[in-house]
């Protein structure tokens, strides 16, 4: 019995536990507004996440991958709760905001997909639960996903590299560092109501992407175009308020690249990204609907900072902000995000990361006239890999 349950040599199981102790604080020239924001989401929280990764291969060149996750970030600013919404969500945060207030931790399927070589440099991927990043052979940044805010994992173009999840797949070609990829993810695939959801419908909350790029051991560069349906959202931020979403499709363009030195030292790796988006609300167009928006970021990372194995990271950027509205309205949008962190590699499997982040204008266009509102957060993250 036990013999039949053993993993085959081509199957591996790994995982990690992440714990985060932190607090968020809002400041404003509107004392009542700041007090209300801090009362809602300004306290300390202790959160955790467990991730289990199962990888298997049948031929040695293919891969079946499955990821299970459980976490309790949902009702904290670090999971997207509070007035800042997804802008303050951490990259590792699992369990979104639970409106019922009764969010028991449940082990959930986060990824399930199969990747195999087609031939001639082509690779295909299909899955019942995959992410956009799974379908792209090149991620054009040296800035790590072990940073702080989720929005900084999107290469400066969180609408184009939107990290969407759902049923989908991709096909890509690679040769000598060059790659071309195409993918489709239907985030609403589990919803079969007649007025929404499904796969390949106008209501699938889907995103389709085409990316071309080049990568080497020290240099990366990629351009991407993504078509977003209503409801597909973007990484770490929304493109526009819910009142503007009806009938909206968006074309999102991203350009990103990065360079890293051959040896670690005082020179950091540099990652840059910019995004431009054009939305297409259905007529008749009421004044003030989002038409065009942009985003950008600059990120630095020092390897072996102060001690071998440690890392230091800094990033600054603007998430998606409006640059043109219908009816000739002038947008009053934009805010700057900042983050800094220092990762201490305690042992092969344990790392401790103190970090800070600042959101200068988390409400964007929804900020009341004459009001300045910002969010400062500090946290201590502990990673245990096994």
Any idea which of 81-95, 100-114, 183-197, 211-225 has the lowest mean pLDDT? 183-197
Q: What is the dihedral of CA 176, 178, 180, 183, to 10 degrees?
A: 90
Q: What is the mean pLDDT of residues 211-238?
A: 85
3-state secondary structure of 366: helix
What number is the average pLDDT over the span 319-337? 88
Distance between CA atoms of residues 118 and 31, nearest Å: 61
What structural domains does the chain harbor? 13-385 (2.40.160.10)
- Cα(382)–Cα(344) distance, rounded to whole angstroms? 10
Question: 12-28 and 44-56 as β-strands: parallel, antiparallel, unpaired?
Answer: antiparallel
pLDDT at 228 over 80: yes
Which of 235-244, 271-280, 287-296, 308-317 is predicted with the least confidence, judged by mean pLDDT? 235-244
State yes or no: pLDDT of 84 exceeds 90: no
Residues contacting residue 160 through CB under 8 Å, at least 6 positions apart: 209, 224, 225, 226, 252, 253, 254, 275, 277
190: pLDDT strictly greater than 70: no
Is 60 exceeded by the pLDDT of residue 241? no
The span from the CA of 170 to the CA of 90, in Å, is: 26
Using alpha carbons, select from 94, 92, 96 the residue that is nearest to residue 148: 92
Q: What is the pLDDT of residues 37-73, one digit of tens each?
A: 888 888 889 999 999 999 999 988 999 999 999 998 8
Radius of gyration of the chain (CA): 21
Helices (H), 67-137: none
């Amino acid at each position: 019995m036990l013999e039949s349950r053993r993993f085959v040599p081509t199957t591996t199981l790994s995982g990690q536990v992440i714990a985060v102790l932190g607090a968020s604080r809002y400041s404003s020239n509107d004392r009542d507004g700041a007090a209300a924001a801090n009362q809602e989401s300004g306290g300390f929280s202790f959160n955790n996440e467990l991730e289990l990764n199962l990888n298997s291969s049948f031929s040695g060149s293919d891969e079946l991958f499955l990821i299970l996750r459980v976490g309790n970030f949902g009702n904290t600013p670090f999971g997207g709760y509070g007035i800042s919404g997804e802008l303050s969500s951490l990259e590792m945060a699992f369990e979104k905001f639970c409106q019922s207030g009764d969010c028991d931790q449940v082990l959930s399927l986060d990824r399930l997909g199969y990747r195999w070589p087609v031939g001639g440099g082509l690779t295909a991927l299909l899955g019942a639960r995959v992410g956009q990043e799974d379908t792209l052979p090149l991620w054009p940044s040296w800035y790590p996903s072990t940073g702080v805010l989720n929005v900084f994992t999107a290469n400066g173009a969180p609408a184009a590299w939107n990290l969407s999840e759902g049923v989908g797949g991709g096909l890509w070609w690679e040769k000598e560092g060059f790659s071309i990829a195409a993918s489709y993810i239907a985030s609403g695939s589990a919803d079969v109501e007649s007025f929404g959801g499904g796969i390949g419908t106008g209501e699938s909350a889907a995103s389709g992407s085409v990316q071309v790029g080049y990568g080497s051991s020290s240099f990366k560069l990629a351009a991407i175009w993504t078509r977003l349906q209503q409801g597909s959202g973007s990484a770490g931020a929304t493109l526009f308020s819910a009142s503007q979403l009806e009938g909206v499709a968006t074309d999102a363009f991203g350009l990103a690249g990065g360079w890293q030195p051959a040896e670690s030292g005082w020179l950091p790796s540099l990652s840059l990204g910019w995004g431009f988006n054009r939305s297409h609300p259905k007529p008749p167009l009421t004044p003030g609907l989002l038409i065009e928006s942009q985003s950008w970021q600059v990120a630095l990372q020092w390897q072996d900072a102060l001690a071998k194995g440690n890392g230091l990271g800094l990033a600054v950027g603007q998430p998606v902000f409006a640059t043109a509205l219908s009816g000739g309205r002038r947008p009053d949008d934009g805010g700057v995000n900042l983050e800094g962190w220092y990762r201490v590699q305690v042992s092969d499997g344990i790392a401790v990361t103190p970090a800070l982040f600042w959101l200068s204008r988390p409400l964007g266009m929804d900020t009341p006239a004459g009001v300045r509102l910002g969010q400062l957060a500090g946290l201590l993250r502990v990673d245990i890999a096994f």
